[in-house]
Structures are given as C-alpha cells and as structure tokens.
Structure 1
Amino acid sequence: MITKENLKHILTNTESYHIERTISIDNTDKFCQAICAFSNDLPGSGKNGYLIIGAHDNGKLSGLKVDDKLLLQISNIRTDGNILPQPLMTVEKISFEDGDILVAEVQPSEFPPVRYRGRVWVRIGPRKSIASEAEEKILTERRLSNIHTFDAMPCLGTTMADLDVSFIKREFLPKAVAEEVLAEDKRPMDEQLASLGFYDLRYNCPTNGAIVLFGNNPERYLHGSYVQYVRFKGKDRAGDIINEHKFSGNLCKELVKIDTFIETSISQKRPIPVSVLREETVSKYPYWATRELLMNAIMHRDYETNAPVQFYEYDDRIEVQNPGGLYGKVSPANFPNVSDYRNPFIAEAMKILGYVNRFSRGVYRVQKELKENGNGDALFDFSLITAFRVIEQVSGKYFDAGFGADDNHGHAKKAQEKPKKSPRKAQEKPKNIQAEIIEIIRSNPHISRKEMASLLDSTPYSVKYHLGQLTNKGIIKHEGATKAGKWVILLNLD
C-alpha cells in the first residue's frame, strides 16, 4: 500500500498514465473509468495506478473530510459487477493538516481487457479514453500470454529446499540442455530452472510442475499427485484386494519404479509353443502398451484435484483412470487424431526423460501391440466428464495357453485341471531380468546400459534400477570410468 511520503511525492508531480487526481466525491462513473483504465495498463509498465480523491490538479488538497460512507462507496466499486474481471485494488484514507486524501490503488490485471459496463477504458498519458480496436487487440494478446497452465503456475509456499536439486543437476539438466551450453551457464539454479519453466522469479518459488517432477514431497502441496495400484480378485471392486501399492514421490524417481513394476509384475511374459521347434512369447498385458497408457494418464491428468491416477487390475482387464477429462481442443469426435496438453512442461520433461514421445502416435502403437498380443483394442471411456478411463483386456492367447493363474497376484488356478503337455523348454520357469543381466555381463563385461536395454527389450531406466539392486546386494560391481570401465561379477545368482 502507498505510504504517506510516497503520496506527498505523487501530489507534487503532474498527472500521468498511472495517476489521476480529482476533488469530486460523487462522480462514480469517472472513478470507475479510471480504475478500469489502470487495470488495463495499456503501456504494460506493470506499475500500480492511483486514483487520488481530495486533491486539485496542481496537487493542493481540497480540504476533504473522508468519512465511512465515501470509503464504502469507493470500496464497493470492486464488487458491484460493473467492472469485469474484478479489479485488484485497495482503498485507504490518509490524513494531512489541510484535509484528508482517499487513495484507491489499482494493480494491473493479468487478464485484460478489463471492461466497465462493456467498454474498455485505457489511459494515454494523463487522459483516459475508450480503447481503439488496435489497442483492444494488444490487451487481448497480453491476456493470452499471461494465461498459464497449472504446471507453469507458482507453487506458493515452496522454496528451492523443496526440490531435489542434486537430482536436477545430475540427471535432468544434462538431458534437457546441450552439454556445451550447460558448461557455460553460470547462473544460479533458480534462474536456470526459470528458463525451463520450472521456477517463478516473480514469486521466488518453484512451479507446480517442478514440485511434481522434482519435489522432495509433492503430496504435501499437491495431495493427489500419486498413482494408486490395486489388484482385485474377480471382475469388479467387490472382490478381495490381493495386492496394492502407492507410487508416491516425485515423478522423476517414481517413473523408474512404475516402469519396472509394469515390466516385472504386470506384463508377465510366457513362452507359448507354436510348433515343436518354435515358441512365441506372449504377455498377459504387453509391456510397452500398458506402460504407454499409464504414462499418458500421468502426463495428461489434472493435478489440481486430490484424486490419484487409478491403476486397477482385475481378473480379466486393467483399468487406468486419470482425473481430468479430455482437454482443450481434444473431443471424443477427434480423439486420438488431435492432441493437446494440460501440462505442457510436465509433458516436455517426460519426453526428455524418455517416457513419452509427444508425436501423437502413442495410441496407434498401443492398439497395434494389443492386437498382436491377443488383447484386442483398448477401450476409451469419455463418459465420466471429470475423468478419463481406458480399459485393456487380458490377452486371449495368454489364457488359451493355460496361463490363467499367477502366483504373484494370488489368482486362483484352474481347479482339478491337469497341466497341458508342452515341450520342456516351455515349462521351464522364465528367467528374471537380473539373472539375464548377469549372463549378459558374463559374455561382455564392457557392455553399456543402453546396449543391455536393447538386448533385454527393456528401457535404460529399468536396467539402471536392476544394476543398482545387484550392486547393492554385492553381486556385481563396476570398475573404472563410467564409459570406459567394465562390470565384474562377484557372486552368482542361484
């Protein structure tokens, strides 16, 4: 709010685009026009405007005595519905020896044009007038540029201490920024993040997107920012809960866990004999398609709600439901041919980390992989309005081969049914990914994570996770430089 000393300085200056003086106390139209013009801030200076009641044009006081009635009259301008959007203003009485001054301090609106009774008022120097078509266009364009998506808005109350800065430096920035540019960038971390849209310098705090992606505890500020997995026995939620897990924490760390969970616990690859000498690997739910559907839900969800992403598994299907219906220009009629992004900064970060592609091809590839695996098309449900749901059926090939049960999820096996005869190789327990990693290292100790991922038909993040597990258990270790070193096997897996 303006101080008495600042007001004295204003009174001695001439009127300008952000100062108007008047001795009138009952010309409400004039007051509203001035407040509307200050709100529009046509020059784009960002300065507050001051309507000063009780002073002549030369700055001398009129001897006004400000009473409660006048204060209430000016204060009611904000909420009487004649100026829309509502102006951001404060009203204060300041007393001098020669009389009182009533000051209405008006902040520039972030969503111009502001209208008084349907007209757009602006100030050109010391005078105000109705905006021309060109001036109104300028204000409209400014409004569009000021509208931020939720992930770009400041997460008020947070600081840099709420972010995992070491992870950002170690893992994210080297992927998001060219190596030579990053080496020359000597700016503090907040300015570097601001350049990527993850820090708001005006409010000196991280954005909502930064908290979701890198926050030490995102749920503290965005209560629904987690994925809830539940395995129900049967075909609806009335069945017993066999397994559940909550993927909370920031996305950069949880996406690795989700990726691995889908690959090791949901996909469930099985060899199916096609002939005496040939087998075909079929998954209960294909890894890439299931991963893509869940990653899209995380990327496109509404983070303003307290509801999580629901990842529910039943005997015959998986359902993924994310808060927030179709966004922007996407509709049931044009889906999936048209794309729009509710969280563009989160989407860009997930692309940088390798979890999505942002080329509007994901749904087509999902449908193709599901058909090839025997699951049929994914079903998209647009009827929930405030949520979006996709249903993935269990693979028919998987069940036809006799793999209708799974001990890890507690599925009931087919009662009193003898196992079908099949070649010995098909009956063997499939290797787990860590055992495969050991065999790959044994054959090539100098192999890179990327090469491992290609051989395993997996992702570098999943391989990194399992390498970390094997290292922590003392089974393997890495000697030498990151790129030029080699892997050493210390213990063999049973």
Structure 2
Amino acid sequence: MRLLDDELEAMLADSESDRAERKESFNGDAPEKVRQAVCAFANDLPGHGRPGVAFIGVRNDGMPTNLPITDELLLTLASIRSDGNIQPIPSMTVEKRVLRGIDVAVITVLPADAPPVRFKGRTYIRTGPRRDIANLQDERILNERRRHRNLPFDLQPVSFAKLADISRSVFEDQYLAGAFSTDVLEANHRSYEERLSSCRMIESVENPVPTVLGSLVLGTRTRDLIPCAYVQFLRIDGTELDAPIIDAADIDGRLGEVINRVDDKVKAHISTAIDIHSADTEKRRVDYPLAAIQQLVRNAVMHRSYEGTNAPVRLTWFSDRIEILNPGGPFGNVTVANFGQPGVTDYRNPHLAEAMKVLGYVQRFGVGIATARKMLAENGNPTPQFDPRDTHVLVIIRRTP
C-alpha cells in the first residue's frame, strides 16, 4: 500500500500519532528505535488496519532536516526486513520521497496477518506516540486477532493432532530461549499453553490444536501429522538413477532432527582430495563444500510446499553431481523468471522461516543462494544450476574437476 504525499505529510504533522516514527538520521540509537517501531507497526495493537510509517531525515516537529537520502542509506534501511531480528518477517517497503520539498526516507510497514511480531524476542506495541513492550493482555489481543485472519499454511491447525503430539521438553529447553529475550522469560508468568500460542505452535489457548508449524518444529510424530515432512537421501555409484545404490535413507523427525541428520549424512559422504604437486605444501580440497550444501538443503526445507503433496525434499548424490529437488515452485514475488536474483525473496512458510532462525539454522534471510554460489566458487566447483518450475525447483551442484 503506497501512501500519497498528502497522507504522509499529515502523518508528519501529527505529533500524537501512533502510526508515525520520526528520526533526524539513522545514527546513534536510531537503528534500534526504528526496528522497535517497525515491530510495533506490524503488531498494530490499536487495530487501525493501516500502515505505520518511519520517517528518516525528519525532526520531531515534522520538519525535514536535509539529510542526504543515498542509495546506501536506503539499502541499509531495507535490510531491517531480512536481518533476522524482527520475527516473523515484516511486510515493509523503503523509498525516497519528496515531502515539503525535501528528500525523506520513508519506511512503510503493513499490519501483520499473524501477530505477535517480535524484535529480539520482545513484542513491541504503540500507545499513542509512545513505544512499549506488550503485556500479557496485549499479547492475548494479538493472538486472538491472528485466529480470525486468512493465515498461511504453516499456521493452519492440524485437525487430528493433540497437544500431547508436541514435545514440551523440546519447546521449553530448546525453543523458548531463542524465541524470547532472557528478561522477558524471567518476567513471564504465562502458562505452557499461552507460550505455545504466542509462538504459534498451537491454534489458541482455548483450542490447543497443534499447527503445521508446531507439528514440524515440536512434533513427537511429525511424519504422521505432516506426511511429506522428510528428506529422501540417495547416494548412487554412477551418473544415472539406475546405477548401484551406495546409501539410502528417509530422514524424518522434528525440524532440528531432520536438519542435523542430513548434515551428518552429507559430512559422511564428502571426499577430500590432497594435492602434493602444485605447491611446496600440500593442499586439501573437498569435492563439495559442506556449508554450500547446508544452505541449499535448508533453503529447500524452508521454502518447499507442505500442502497438497506427499513428496519429500530429495537429495540425490551422483558420482559427478548432487541434485536437490524442492517440491514447491517459486512463490509470491519470486517467479520462474527472477528466481535467484539478488534481493528477490518471498516466503511460502514465513513462520517456519522464523523457527529456523530461532533454532539457529538461519542467520540472515534472503542470502542462502548467494552464499552457496560464493562457497562453491571459492572451492572450485562449477556454478550451480537452478531449474525452477511451477511445481518444483531443482538445484544441480557439480563436483570439483
């Protein structure tokens, strides 16, 4: 939703607005304060249903400061969306606008479909011009609001699942510490069900049915609840599927278990070559860099479709290449035409992406393919091939010459 100039100028002039944040620059404590504001606008506790706006290059009285609005500044502001500190990923735009005759940077944040949204494990809200941390009642309001919206598939309840199908120990011992800041946990007197609901692992406190997200991340019988939630690993002694099989496994379980077991498989099959002729000291080089395969497999787990299919993610390791097949074509802003281009991202499973960040399997969003390309090039592997189709994405990595 792009606001008109007169709407933005009216927001600049209203010092009591809970939809506007003003900063003279993006220095000092401004980066932290602006991120808190983005989080609060996404939560939209007052229920405006309208965007919130952070103005950079504007004084508290609404007058522009003549701050140079450079491409570097705009890129820095845009990185707020994908740096992983605000979860789930906010829907926001960054642009340079001319307001009152002066250039101003404008961050426009849409209300989230699935609040609460958190910044560094804290739920920020706006009450008038004041920024605050949500209390228990505020979070209940946000949780209730989420239930009545058209939610992505990863937040849909699994109708036949029970609360007992979620591992309480994994949630409390592994997940909570990454989802909330320490001070919030220490001051938190919420029940087990309230915490699960706040993390979107169940539909609500009143109806504690595990969501798809809860089943994937915490499920005690994940594949019974989500049949396609596994990775099929196949190592073949040849270049075609009819060659002899060296190793095969269906890797299932909770999200963390799947990722860790895939990592173990990949580590076991990576080979290291030793070169003692081209230099005075020996050189070691692997046939595939582990971190590149990790990036691409985790990308597949995060972005695949879990709806309307029983197909797993497939990792097929031939003697000359690795193929990773993701059941789920490009989504949203990502198309077959622009797939893999820098800065073009979207999320079919935004809350699964959040969970992977909480558990430490993702450090930053939107850079997985670029990171894998860089690591493969540094190791001497050919450039990876991406074949996006409407129903799947195939990635081919070729071994070092």
User: The TM-score by the shorter chain falls in which range?
Assistant: 0.5 to 0.7
What's the offset of the Cα at 1:341? 0.6
Cα offset, 1:356, TM superposition: 1.9
> What is the match of residue 250 of structure 1?
254
Cross-structure match for 2:121: none
Do the aligned partners of 1:311 and 1:321 also contact (CA within 8 Å) in 2? yes
- Aligned partners of 2:172 and 2:146: how far apart in 1? 34
Q: Aligned with 2:383: secondary structure?
A: coil
Name the SS for the 1:298 alignment partner: helix
1:8 matched residue in structure 2: none
1:198 aligns with 2:211: no
Aligned partner of 1:323 in structure 2 is 327
Report the CA distance shift for 1:273/1:374 in structure 2 as closer, same or farther (over 3 A).
same
Q: 1:374 to 1:173 in 2, by over 3 A?
A: same
> 2 CA distance for matches of 1:144 and 1:158?
18
Deviation, structure 1 residue 175 = 1.4
Query: CA offset at residue 292 of structure 1?
Result: 0.5
RMSD: 2.2
CA contact 1:310–1:320 (8 Å) conserved in 2 = yes
> Using the alignment, how far apart are the partners of 2:302 and 2:213 within structure 1?
11
Corresponding residue for 1:68? none
TM-score by length of 2: 0.60
Question: Contact 1:286–1:370 (CA<8 Å) still a contact in 2?
Answer: yes
- Within the candidate set 158, 161, 167, 1:158 is matched to 161
* Residues 156 and 203, structure 1, Cα contact 8 Å, conserved in 2: no
**Amino acid in structure 2 at the alignment position of 1:320:** I
Equivalent position to 1:288, from 261, 286, 291:
291
- Deviations, residues 162-219 of structure 1 (Å, cap 9, x unaligned): 0111011111111111111112222122211211222111532111011011101111
SS at match of 1:260: helix
5 Å-filtered alignment, 1:55-66, equals none
2:214 alignment counterpart? 210
* 1:390 and 2:392 aligned: no
Q: Which has the larger radius of gyration?
A: 1
Note the C-alpha offset of 1:255.
1.6
Tell me how far 1:392 sits from its aligned partner: 0.4
Q: How does 1:86-235 map to 2 (within 5 A)?
A: 146-201=149-204, 203-235=207-239
Deviation for aligned residue 1:266:
3.1
Paired with 1:143 and 1:285, the residues of 2 have a C-alpha distance of: 43
Whole-angstrom CA distance in 2 between matches of 1:245 and 1:200: 33
Are positions 1:354 and 2:360 aligned together? yes
Paired with 2:223 and 2:146, the residues of 1 have a C-alpha distance of: 31
Once residues 389 and 319 of structure 1 are traced to their aligned partners in structure 2, the CA distance between those partners, rounded to angstroms, is: 7
Supply the distance in 2 between the matched residues of 1:326 and 1:147 (Cα, whole angstroms).
21
Q: Against the structure 1 CA distance between its residues 189 and 268, is the aligned structure 2 distance closer, same or farther, given a 3 Å change threshold?
A: farther
Which amino acid in structure 2 is aligned with residue 220 of structure 1? D
Q: Give how far 1:144 is off.
A: 12
C-alpha offsets along residues 21-71 of structure 1, whole Å, 9 cap, x if unaligned? xxxxxxxxxxxxxxxxxxxxxxx9xxxxxxxxxxxxxxxxxxxxxxxxxxx
Separation in structure 2 between the aligned mates of residue 340 and residue 179 of structure 1, nearest angstrom: 30
Match for 1:300 among 292, 298, 303? 303
For 1:232 and 1:254, how far apart are their aligned partners in 2?
Answer: 21
| Structure 1 Cα separation of the partners of residues 186 and 147 of structure 2 | 35
What are the Cα deviations for residues 366-399 of structure 1, in whole angstroms up to 9, with x where unaligned?
Answer: 111111212111100123x211110000111xxx
What are structure 1's unaligned runs of at least 5 residues? 1-43, 45-109, 111-141, 397-494
Percent of counterpart pairs with the same letter? 35
* Cα gap change, 1:348 to 1:143, in 2 (>3 Å): closer
* Secondary structure at 1:333 match in 2: coil
Tell me: CA distance 1:256–1:178, structure 2 relative to 1, closer, same or farther (3 Å): same
Report SS of the residue matched to 2:261: helix
Superposed displacement of residue 275, structure 1 = 4.6
Distance in 1 between residues matched to 2:241 and 2:292, nearest whole Å: 24
Question: Is the CA contact (8 Å cut-off) linking 1:266 and 1:285 kept in structure 2?
Answer: no
- What SS does the corresponding residue of 1:236 show, helix, strand or coil? coil
User: In structure 2, what is the equivalent of residue 451 of structure 1?
Assistant: none
Q: TM-score, normalised by structure 1?
A: 0.49
* 2: CA distance, partners of 1:310 / 1:187: 40
Letter in 1 for 2:239: K
AA at the equivalent of 1:164 = S
Corresponding residue SS for 1:370: helix
* Aligned length in residues: 255
Amino acid at match of 1:362: G
Aligned to 2:280: 277
Query: In the alignment, which residue of structure 1 is the partner of 2:13?
Result: none
Secondary structure of the equivalent of 2:247?
Answer: strand
SS of the residue aligned with 1:205? coil
Asked if structure 1 preserves the Cα contact closer than 8 Å seen for 2:223 and 2:230, the reply is yes
Bigger relative contact order (CA 8 A; separation at least 6): 2
Once the two structures are TM-superposed, the CA of residue 221 in structure 1 deviates from its matched residue by 1.5
